[in-house]
Structure 1
Amino acid sequence: MSVTVPAGLNRKDLEIYRRLDPKRLPQHIAIIMDGNGRWARRRHLPRIAGHRAGITAVRQVVETGARIGLPSLTLYAFSVENWQRRPKSETGFLMGLLRQYLKQEVPTMMRNNIRLDYIGRKHELPQEVQERMAWAREETAGNSGMLLTLALNYGARSELVDAFNDIVRLAATNGGLGHLKIDEALIDKHLYTRHLPDPDLVVRTSGEMRLSNFLLWQLAYAEIYVTDVLWPDFRGQHLLEAIAEYQKRERRYGGLSAAEQPHQLP
């Protein structure tokens, strides 16, 4: 099969891309970026060095996703738990690094036709961070390629709490709770991700086997891919390897595999 090769891929990326079926790319990939601290510790460096190195991984993965025509990519960048579980010096550094990333990477996003958005309790972030986020989103709003979503001050349980609070408030002004009918479609409409398709594939780096309170509702039928690669070492080729593994699988959505289907009688 003749495949049109995207421009900008390096040799290793091309070797993997040629094995893919471009018509079967996931519509939405979500990544739990993990391992910055361990990466730094193994090199006898401070944790912040791992976070800085992680930015290089973000840049490479985002560019690769855009170049191969991935419709949507969501990165778990900062959780609601990080405020309590990290020293203030580290969270402060991360907020500064986020501002720096947004300023530096907007030209790259423009060059690759990437549109930027966010999910999470954005209003709780520092004001100067919110302003930089708004600027970057506005700058890229006219782009029509891959949608890059950064999960910032995000937690899946917090998202569900916020969704149900929105539903109750809406019901209170529209006939009261007695008229409220809660179903999956209603909940979907009030999630942070209501404008996104559910992820087809979730990738977790660093070998950890957990979802870490990330998109728990949306990942109900996602394929899970775990790699031992620490996030700062993760590159475009690793993203393509995850997609190659995804394309080998048969998505069942709770049903039977093709091999398990009952045979039709003649």
Structure 2
Amino acid sequence: MGIILDGNRRYGERHGILDPHEIYAMGARKLDAVLDWCGELAIPAVTLWVCSTDNLERPVDQVAGILAAIEAKLWALAHDPQIHCRRVQVQAIGKLELLPGSVITAIRAARQSTAKYDGMILTIAVAYGGRQEIVDSVRALLVELIQRKVTLPDAIKEVTTTAIGRHLYMAGEPDPDLIIRTSGEIRLSGFLLWQSAYSEFYFCDVPWPALRKIDFLRAVRDYQRRKRRFGK
């Protein structure tokens, strides 16, 4: 499952909350409930898009609020008893080198403290863009071919969907069956472009901080009613 966490700012504006740190901290707290719901349904893997590369171009105060919430949440995940009880493995994907050192340290802490778990895979997509992921994957494949001293004609033959897939940020992980976007926007905005080829989509009008269990279950029930053909 993939979830695009949208609507934090709009929710804050409607409720008179203008401090970006408070707005995004409120959104980060919603994750605890969502993980509970996923655990109840035995969902094996969840990818949350919390920050895009485009988001990093927003005004400084907004970016600071987003990154502060991400950093705090990652530290919390690293030490959360429920995460360890459920054996949730936490990982992060994206252009992580664009992030401040303190955020990278928090990512490393969450990864290391949960690395051996096998209950659920929680992937945090931060400084992430789907187009950039594909570009990075192709570049990594080309570097591999150069290191193997493959000739150009042979290298062209080796540029396949399987080969590119091996170098994606989430290589080896299952593609999401369902992608949910909150707050009413009906687009992917670049989320998991490669992996979502046969995903089912559900667009929810409720902003992320206000998402309720009933909203989540409606998305799952809608998915369960669909007949998936995978292009056949």
TM-score for the superposition, normalised by structure 2: 0.93
Of residues 186, 190, 197 in structure 2, which corresponds to 1:213?
190
Matched, 1:30 2:2: yes
Residue ranges of structure 2 left out of the alignment (5+ in a row) = none
Instruction: List structure 1 segments (4+ residues) > 3 angstroms apart after TM superposition.
Output: none
Quick check: 1:132 aligned with 2:106? yes
Residues 251-266 of structure 1 aligned to structure 2 (within 5 Å): 251-255=228-232
Structure 1 residue 233 corresponds to structure 2 residue 206: no
What residue is the counterpart of 1:26 in the other structure?
Answer: none
1:192 and 2:169 equivalent? Answer: yes
CA contact (8 A) 2:24 2:65 kept: no
Q: How many residues align?
A: 226
Structure 1 residue matching 2:169: 3-state secondary structure? coil
Mapped contact 1:67–1:112 kept (Cα < 8 A): no
Aligned to 1:51: 24
Q: Hey, what does 1:79 align to over in structure 2?
A: 52
Q: How many angstroms does 1:140 deviate by?
A: 1.0
2:150 is equivalent to residue 178 of structure 1 = no
* 1:111 equivalent in alignment to 2:85: yes
Alignment RMSD, CA only? 1.3
SS in 2 for 1:254: coil
Q: How does 1:94-173 map to 2 (within 5 A)?
A: 94-106=66-78, 107=80, 108-173=82-147
The CA distance in 1 between the partners of 2:19 and 2:173, in whole Å, is: 33
Q: C-alpha distance in 2, partners of 1:87/1:227?
A: 27
> Cα deviation per residue 1:62-100 (whole Å; 9 max; x = unaligned)?
12212321100000011011111x111221222222121
Letter in 2 for 1:118: A
Q: Aligned equivalents of 2:34 and 2:28: distance in 1? A: 10
SS of the residue 2:76 aligns to? helix
1:115 touches 1:143 (CA, 8 Å); kept in 2? yes
After superposition, what is the alpha-carbon deviation per residue over 1:11-46, rounded to whole angstroms, capped at 9, x for unaligned?
xxxxxxxxxxxxxxxxxx000110001101111221
What do residues 197-234 of structure 1 show as CA deviations (whole Å, max 9, x unaligned)?
11110001011011011111111111010110110011
| Secondary structure in structure 2 of the residue aligned to 1:147 | strand
Which residues of structure 1 form unaligned runs of 5+?
1-28, 256-266
User: Which residue identity is paired with 2:179?
Assistant: V
* TM-score, normalising length: structure 1: 0.81
Identity of aligned residues (%): 34
Q: Is the 8 A contact 2:51 2:126 kept in 1?
A: yes
Structure with the greater alpha carbon radius of gyration: 1
SS class of match (2:61):
helix
Q: Is the 8 A contact 2:8 2:27 kept in 1?
A: yes
Cα offset, 1:122, TM superposition? 1.2
